[in-house]
């Protein structure tokens, strides 16, 4: 087998964000663009010769072509074994599990998560380390620095690999294993949840369900587990076939993009339970008949009821949430005397806490929850957790949520996203807020008195690493918060996210609409950041 060294020139825009490198497909199709970034990853890793690499993606446009290129580069750079999902498919949590189960050196996950797919849309790639989790900042910064000085990449001259036939192939000294992308993950789920109870509850009709796979990666996983193994009625999983463009939809599991599911769940004929997952399978939306569960509430309910799930019957060692996520889980942790950690946005920050045994459950407001079973958030795992909870408590979703609010109070919560904002305007808003921060503490705005105003920074309690400038926080003495943060997951312009939170202990007020309950904070947020004034927009792009 011939190994070629190809001369190249560096690109200056290959700095990975919170979830890897995401660009338009056409950018990745530029000559040497993908190759440069992959070589920068391989050059940054130590002692990869003879190691195992896991490879797969969410099936979006350019997935198969990219995998063929990466296979040839992995061979040229000395990996001895490649484990690849059939058809080039692996959900992100399944990839994490496979890295861990087969003790791989690491893995390359091809996904732009919840971003749209297609020839004119988005593509992404990220490296996961040996614990199965996203590469920490010390890795991603090394990738970027190597990319700025790259002069060549290595690639093997070989025919494309058959990705569709399960089995092992040998290329000289390199083993290439094409595996069922679902089997290992399904086995893991059966070790965590009470599948016998779920079969009985679904088979008896106590639980009826609808899962929207959004024509993304979780379709095959949900069909296998929910319909084939647990016996849900055929058709319970909708939009189940992964498509390169996600059927023209936006594979983001929220009320705005999963409209078909939302309409059914708020209809007179709604099933007991509804859920959706995103492009690469790591996010989830939880619904019941006539109710939407916020991701923050979902995490809190999971933490409060974890002992009812076989895999967590031993109890929790701690919980963690991203900084913008509501403080609902903090109240559960305080009640049960559990450690509770507040981290920056980005799943990689949970990895150290999980590996050190400091936490069992973790989550973020952007529709992600997970546990120590893998090192990624996990959409279908969250769905099974809720199904197991419904079956065990013998209560519908709305009753579970209302009971939780009565015990802990309700954290009214919303996120207002302003997408594709001009970069200069977005940076100007941040600079304006930074200048405003020192003047705010002690000021009263109606019933809201500012107790603190800062930029969040995080010192990792495991390795001592410091992450600064992780979002602007304005907190009030009644526990309410407004948070402003520029997202790192978009590919066009900037996305400004505004997070709003207010705790309400009075159960008589728990049924208020969240936007009504947060109206005063919404006005204050505009007063502080002036986004409508500066952009000329009248409302957010998306409210979740």
Rounded distance between C-alpha atoms, residue 285 and residue 267, angstroms: 17
Task: Name the token pair of 264.
Answer: 């059914």
**Is the pLDDT at 491 greater than 60, yes or no?**
no
Where does the pLDDT of residue 239 fall: very low under 50, low under 70, confident under 90, or very high at 90 and above? very high
Task: Go through the chain and tell me how many residues it has.
Answer: 544
Indicate left, alpha or beta for 410 from its phi (over 0: left) and psi (-120 to 50: alpha).
Answer: beta
**With 60 as the cut, is the pLDDT of residue 428 above it?**
yes
pLDDT at 487: 80
Torsion of CA 499, 255, 220, 202, to 10 degrees: 110
Q: Minimum mean pLDDT among 60-69, 154-163, 307-316, 346-355: which range?
A: 346-355
The predicted model gives 533-539 an average pLDDT of 94
Please report the domains of the chain, with CATH numbers, ordered by start residue.
Answer: 2-181 (3.40.120.10), 185-408 (3.40.120.10), 410-543 (3.30.310.50)
Mean pLDDT of 119-131: 97
Task: Name the 3-class secondary structure at 141.
Answer: helix
* 129-138, 186-195, 298-307, 368-377: segment of lowest average pLDDT: 129-138
Q: Which residues of 55-64 are buried (b: 16+ CB within 10 A; e: fewer)?
A: bbbbbbbbbb
- 350-357 CB contacts, 8 Å cutoff, 24+ apart: 350/133, 350/320, 350/375, 351/131, 351/133, 351/134, 351/136, 351/375, 352/136, 352/460, 352/461, 352/462, 352/463, 353/318, 353/320, 353/461, 353/462, 354/133, 355/131, 355/462, 356/462, 357/317
The DSSP bridge pattern shows strands 448-455 and 472-476 to be antiparallel
What is the C-alpha separation between 469 and 323, in angstroms, rounded?
12
Q: What's the confidence (pLDDT) of residue 492?
A: 66
Query: Can you give the pLDDT at residue 488?
Result: 57
The burial class, CB within 10 Å (0-12 / 13-18 / 19+), for 204 is exposed
Let me know how many helices (H) and strands (E) the chain has, helices first. 18, 27
- pLDDT for 490 equals 52
pLDDT at residue 315, as a whole number: 96
CB 282 within 8 A of CB 378: yes
Query: What mean pLDDT is predicted for residues 305-323?
Result: 98
- DSSP line for 77-105: TT-SEEEEEEEEE--HHHHHHHHHHTT-S
Place 489 in a pLDDT band, splitting at 50, 70 and 90. Answer: low
- CA-to-CA distance for 363 and 358, rounded, in angstroms? 14
CA distance 387 to 399: 14
Q: What's the pLDDT tens digit per position in 273-286?
A: 999 999 999 999 99
Q: Which positions are annotated as active-site residues? A: 113
Mean pLDDT, range 8-23, rounded to an integer: 92
| 348 pLDDT more than 90 | no
Q: What is the DSSP letter of 134?
A: B
Quick count: other Cβ atoms within 10 Å of Cβ 34?
24
pLDDT at 19: 79
pLDDT-derived band at 493, boundaries 50, 70, 90: confident
- Write out pLDDT tens, residues 514-531: 999 999 999 999 999 999
Token output for 320: 């963690």
Tokens for 52? Answer: 């195992």
Q: Express each pLDDT in 85-113 by its tens digit.
A: 999 999 999 999 999 999 999 999 999 99
CB atoms within 10 A of CB 395: 15
Q: Please give the mean pLDDT across all residues of the chain.
A: 96
Q: What is the pLDDT of residues 169-226, one digit of tens each?
A: 998 889 999 999 999 999 999 999 999 999 999 999 999 999 999 999 999 999 999 9
Query: What is the structure's pLDDT at 147?
Result: 98
Mean local confidence (pLDDT), 125-151: 95
pLDDT at 150: 98
């Amino acid at each position: 087998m011939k190994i070629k060294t190809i001369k190249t020139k560096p690109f200056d825009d290959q700095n990975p964000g919170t979830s890897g490198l995401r660009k338009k497909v056409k950018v990745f199709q530029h000559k040497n663009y993908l190759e440069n970034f992959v070589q920068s990853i391989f050059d940054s890793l130590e002692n990869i010769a003879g190691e195992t690499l896991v490879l797969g993606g969410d099936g979006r446009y350019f997935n198969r072509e990219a995998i063929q290129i990466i296979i040839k580069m992995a061979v040229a750079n000395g990996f001895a074994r490649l484990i690849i999902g059939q058809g080039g498919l692996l959900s992100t949590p399944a990839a994490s599990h496979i890295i861990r189960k087969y003790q791989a050196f690491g893995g390359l996950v091809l996904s732009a998560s919840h971003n749209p797919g297609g020839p004119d849309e988005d593509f992404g790639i990220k490296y996961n380390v040996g614990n199965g989790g996203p590469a920490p900042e010390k890795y991603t910064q090394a990738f970027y620095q190597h990319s700025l000085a790259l002069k060549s990449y290595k690639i093997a001259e070989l025919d494309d690999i058959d990705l569709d036939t399960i089995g092992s192939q040998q290329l000289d000294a390199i083993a290439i294993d094409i595996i069922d992308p679902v089997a290992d993950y399904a086995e893991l789920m059966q070790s965590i949840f009470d599948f016998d109870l779920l079969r009985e509850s679904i088979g008896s009709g106590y639980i009826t369900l609808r899962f929207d796979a959004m024509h993304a990666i979780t379709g095959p996983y949900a069909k296998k587990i929910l319909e084939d193994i647990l016996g849900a009625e055929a058709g319970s999983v909708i939009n189940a076939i992964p498509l390169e463009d996600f059927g023209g939809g936006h594979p983001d599991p929220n009320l705005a993009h999963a409209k078909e599911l939302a309409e059914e769940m708020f209809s007179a004929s709604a099933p007991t339970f509804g859920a959706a997952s995103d492009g690469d399978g790591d996010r989830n939306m939880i619904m019941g008949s006539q109710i939407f569960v916020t991701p923050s509430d979902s995490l809190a309910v999971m933490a409060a009821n974890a002992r009812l799930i076989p895999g967590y019957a031993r109890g929790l060692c701690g919980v963690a949430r991203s900084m913008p996520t509501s403080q609902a889980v903090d109240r559960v942790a305080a009640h049960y005397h559990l450690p509770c950690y507040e981290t920056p946005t980005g799943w990689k920050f949970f990895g150290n806490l999980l590996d050190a045994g400091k936490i069992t459950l973790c989550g973020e407001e952007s529709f992600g929850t997970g546990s120590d079973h893998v090192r990624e958030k996990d959409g279908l795992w969250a769905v099974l957790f809720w199904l197991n909870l419904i079956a065990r408590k013998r209560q519908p979703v709305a009753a579970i949520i209302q009971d939780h609010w009565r015990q802990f109070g309700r954290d009214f919560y919303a996120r207002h996203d302003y997408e594709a904002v001009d970069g200069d305007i977005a940076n100007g808003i941040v600079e304006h807020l930074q200048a405003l921060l020192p003047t705010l503490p002690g000021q009263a705005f109606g019933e809201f008195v500012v107790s603190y105003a800062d930029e969040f920074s995080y010192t990792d309690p495991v390795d001592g690493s410091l992450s600064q400038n992780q979002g602007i926080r304005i907190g009030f003495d009644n526990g309410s918060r407004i948070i402003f943060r520029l997202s790192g997951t978009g590919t066009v312009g900037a996305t400004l996210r505004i997070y709003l939170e207010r705790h309400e202990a009075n159960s008589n007020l728990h049924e208020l609409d969240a936007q009504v309950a947060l109206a005063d904070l919404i006005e204050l947020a505009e007063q502080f950041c002036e986004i409508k004034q500066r952009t000329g927009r009248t409302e957010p792009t998306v409210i979740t």
